Structure 1
Amino acid sequence: HERREAFTHWLHWYNYHRPHTGIGGHTPASRGTNLSEQHT
């Protein structure tokens, strides 16, 4: 249970808070939002 909870927190940090150099220092979550806004 503790391992699953730790992974859930890490995954949230990785997708919503950690800047990724491969996408210009943005987070994956912000890039996904931008993509959906461009195609509406």
Structure 2
Amino acid sequence: MFTLAKPHNRKSWCSGFTLIELLVVIAIIAILAGMLL
């Protein structure tokens, strides 16, 4: 369990990308929802 919380090098680098990835995923879902509806 501690092995997942230990690597801070990846978390600090990905912390800026998590928000961008979330926005991209939301945008893709919105486009797909718009196409289906």
Compare relative contact order (CA 8 Å, sep 6+) and give the higher one, 1 or 2: 1
Fold match (TM-score > 0.5): no
TM-score by length of 1: 0.41
| TM-score normalised by L of structure 2 | 0.44
| Higher Rg | 2
Q: Which has the higher helix share?
A: 2
